[in-house]
Chain A
Amino acid sequence: MYKKLMLMIRKKSIIQSYLILQIFCFVICFFITNTFAYQDTLEKVKSSGVLTWGFDAEGGAPYVFHDTKHPSKLIGFEVDLVAAIARELGVKVQHFQNEWDSILLSLQRGDFDIALNGVEITSDREQAVLFTRPYFVYAEQIVVRASDNRINCLEDLHSKRVGTLYNTVAKQILDEMGDVTVNTYSGQIEPFKDLSLSRVDAVLVDLPIASYYAVPNPQLRMAGEPVGEGYYGIAVRKEDTALADELNIIIEKILRSGELKKIYERWGVWNVSQEKLFFHEGLLQKYTEMPPSLSKKVSLRVTTFLPTLMKGALVTIGISILSMMLAVVLGLTLAIMRLYGNKWLRRVSTAYTEFYRGTPLLIQLYILYYGLPNIGITLSAFIAAILGLGMNYAAYESEIYRAGIQAIPKGQTEASLSLGMSRRLTLRRIILPQAFRIAIPPMTNDFIALFKDSSLVSVITMVELTKSYSMLAAASMNFFQLGIITALLYFGMSYPLSIYARRLEKKLKYYDRNQ
């Protein structure tokens, strides 16, 4: 009794100290990465002769993207704009590719000097970074299938399924509408792909993106007038006022000289709205005050973000359980094929296992969701997620079961056969129940791994716990507390599973001599 109590105390304190350690590490990382930012950036840029520019070129046309003719070359209207700015500063440009979702975060961390990549000026973001005067006036554009005439204005989007990009003003507009089912994407190509496949009814994105992708595609059309005008600004770190002032002067200069217009015209993004850049002062103020709904701050109160995280957690649990069930059934079939099948079944099983183990889950998911439509199979994101995870983990499960079955002594099969039982009955009644017990610890391991890997399905538009977190965190610029809470949610779900597996294993151990 005493021993048991001591053990419990020790166990508890191990967990506690582990958690404390983890939080400690978080805090340290937080401070270390922040301290790098405290040097005057304008001075640094001028003395080193290099301006480091943060952007995301993944599906980034027409802003910044890889030239299909010379894939190592970056092109786009923002590339030309940054080149003009650098010329004015008398420095060279250094590129820094960064996920768009976390571009402001990386700026804060000090990874680059400016973030210039279609970052909309919102009052949320102004809390975290400093914006220059606008360099572009954008608006949101609805795109639909050419054959679809149900949707002609923003109001028509009610109760529809609409695709948009993560962490954008368009997403906020759709969220504010309440009854719109929003599919969010990281890349700019995927929403249009899903629109063609009828996975979404419409796409709402910034006008330059819409014109670049929708206009040349005869299957798509732009519906109605652009809505929700706003500004792109160059983001710098809050303390870099000198840099921002310098940039403002440069923007003013190339705007007045007509160079900016030339650049925009070259890329087909100049329109009358851009004239407003000349009178931005009043308008900008108007904007930041104006649509209050859009600039609603995501507060850190538990009541605001917990429902979103919980919803994400439910999706995570659902996907994990369903795909694990698939993995178990398929894995067992593969193991039996490999152990008892003829030459061909054995080969198929081995090939399956090797293929699925030897290729990244991420690519398997992309192929299932975006690749299969090319051969006429269009899966929903949920089905693709479960198939992707389940089929991938089946490869690992099959190896676990194979090892478990092979660990059962030959004498068990012989005794069973000599009692007149068939091979099938022997497998079902004698071998598998014993193999199952051996397989429990590695299966638990796999289930917990799958549980965490389920965050990968966010690439095919599933919003599960990790995605909910990154969206909330990006919107509120609070990666720290939200991160700890999300990590705790994961832990709170996986730890009971380990405990249950340990109990089950113990329960099935009853027939061992040393129990």
Chain B
Amino acid sequence: MIEISNLFKQYGEQPLFNGLNLEVEKGNIVVLIGPSGSGKSTLLRCINGLECFQKGCISVDGQKRYGVNEQSYNKTDEDSMVKDIRRKVGMVFQQFNLFPHMTVLNNITESPVRVLGIGRAEAEATAISLLQKVHLEEKAQNYPAQLSGGEQQRVAIARALAMKPEAMLFDEPTSSLDPEMIEEVLLVIKDLVSEGMTTIIATHEMGFARDVSTHVIFLEKGNIVERGSPKKMFSNPKNKRTKIFLSRFMK
């Protein structure tokens, strides 16, 4: 479903990824863990076309996007390719990024109506059912500022789902939430993955990672240090640095 091959990315002179490879099968739940600055967010943003990269190829459901220094790179193709990829993958941000000038309902219907050309009535019906799924149907007419952080993030998830994506990317979805709100968001994500949605999550919630994931990847300074099943990674990590990192979280 998502295939990353030989990914090179650098910020100015500062290299981040040096030939990173990753394959995500349909239905996989991949959790990215690692210290801050290890490249978890950047990897997700590369997949979604919010960041460019120098070399390598990212393929989503057969749509290939090349690094800017690759021979196959073409600016015009790039734009339409990114558009196609974005329609296939939804993204949820650490800062929610809801549109403050629109009601919850309009936040969700805006893109289906404007981009997919779905009728307003139909889009609203879908939005309401998605809000039910995240237990916020009574907040449909509220503005984002009237919602708690946890509620905002659940609306953001519903908003991404409204575009009917085939995969979801979560970029530290609970990192800017108060502890008591983390659980409600994680429950929604759990529901989602139990339905078989292909998912990549960057997170620091290790317990959650162990419970829901099919694959765990430990990133450090842009390199995949270790990868494996959650059982193997959490109970018996091979790499010394993985051990040190996990020991800080698994007390």
A residues at B contact (CB < 8 Å): 409, 411-412, 414-422, 425, 429-430, 433-434, 437, 508, 510-513
Chain A residues in 8 Å Cβ range of B99: 412, 415-416, 430
Q: Does B115 contact A421, Cβ atoms closer than 8 Å?
A: yes
Question: Which one of A418, A437, A508 lies within 8 Å of B91 (CB-CB)?
Answer: A418
B96 to chain A, nearest CB (A): 8
Minimum CB–CB distance from A30 to chain B (whole Å) comes to: 52
- CB contact under 8 A between A511 and B48, given known A415-B93, A419-B115, A425-B114: no
Of the candidates A414, A415, A421, A510, the one having the most CB atoms from chain B within 10 angstroms of its own CB is A415
Please indicate the chain A residues that have their CB under 8 angstroms from the CB of B83 in the complex: 420, 422
The CA of A512 and the CA of B144, in the complex, are separated in Å by 9
Q: How large, as a class, is the contact surface on chain B? A: 20 to 34
Knowing A421-B114, A425-B115, the reply to whether A513 touches B95 (Cβ < 8 A) is no
With CB as the reference atom, state the residue of chain A lying closest to B95: A411
- Could you list 9 A-B pairs, sorted by A, with CB under 8 Å? A411-B93, A414-B50, A415-B97, A416-B111, A418-B48, A418-B90, A419-B163, A420-B115, A511-B144
Which B residues touch A434, using CB under 8 A?
100-101
Quick check: is B105 within 8 A (CB to CB) of the other chain? no
Which residue numbers of B lie inside 8 Å of A, CB to CB? 48-50, 83, 86-87, 90-91, 93, 95, 97-101, 110-111, 114-116, 143-146, 156, 159-160, 163
Contacts of A418 in B (CB 8 A): 48, 50, 86, 90-91, 160
Task: For B143, list chain A residues within 8 Å (CB).
Answer: 510-511
Chain B residues with CB below 8 A from A429, complex form: 110, 114
CB pair A511–B86 under 8 Å, yes or no, is no
Quote the shortest CB–CB distance from B44 to chain A (angstroms).
Answer: 10
Measured between beta carbons, the chain B residues less than 8 angstroms from A412 are 97, 99
Known: A414-B93, A425-B114, A429-B114. A420 touches B87 (CB 8 A): yes
The complex places the Cα of A487 from the Cα of B132 at a distance, in Å, of 60
User: What number of A-B contacts does a CB cutoff of 8 Å give?
Assistant: 69
How far in angstroms is the closest Cβ of chain A from B113? 10
Residues of chain A with a CB closer than 8 A to B98's CB: 415
Asked if A420 meets B163 with Cβ closer than 8 Å, knowing A411-B95, A510-B143, the reply is yes
B147 and chain A: residue at smallest CB distance: A513
A417 and B86 contact, CB distance less than 8 A = yes
Residues from chain B with a CB closer than 8 A to the CB of A425 are: 114-115
Q: A511 CA to B99 CA in the complex, in Å?
A: 10
- Most chain B beta-carbon contacts within 10 A, residue among A420, A429, A437, A511: A420
Is the CB–CB distance between A511 and B145 below 8 Å?
A: yes
Contacts of B100 in A (CB 8 A): 434, 511-512
Closest to A423 in B: B79
Quote the shortest CB–CB distance from A508 to chain B (angstroms): 8
Most buried by A among B90, B97, B143: B97
Q: Which residue of A lies closest to B89 (CB)?
A: A418
Residues of B with C-beta under 8 A to A513: 145-146
CA of A512 to CA of B143, assembled, Å: 8
Instruction: Knowing A419-B115, A420-B115, A421-B111 are in contact, say whether A411-B97 is a contact too (CB < 8 A).
Output: yes
Q: How far is the CA of A417 from the CA of B116 in the complex (A)?
A: 14
- Smallest CB separation, B133 vs chain A (Å): 18
Q: Determine the distance from Cα of A419 to Cα of B48 in the docked complex, in whole angstroms.
A: 10
In Å, the complex CA distance between A511 and B141 comes to 11
Q: Determine the chain B residues whose CB is within 8 A of the CB of A422 once the complex forms.
A: 83, 115
Distance to closest chain B CB from A371 (angstroms): 44
Shortest distance between the CB of B93 and any CB in chain A (Å): 6
User: Which of B83, B98, B99, B110 gathers most chain A CB within 10 Å?
Assistant: B99
- How far in angstroms is the closest Cβ of chain B from A504? 14
The 6 lowest CB-CB distance pairs between A and B, nearest first, are: A415-B97, A511-B143, A419-B111, A411-B97, A418-B91, A513-B145
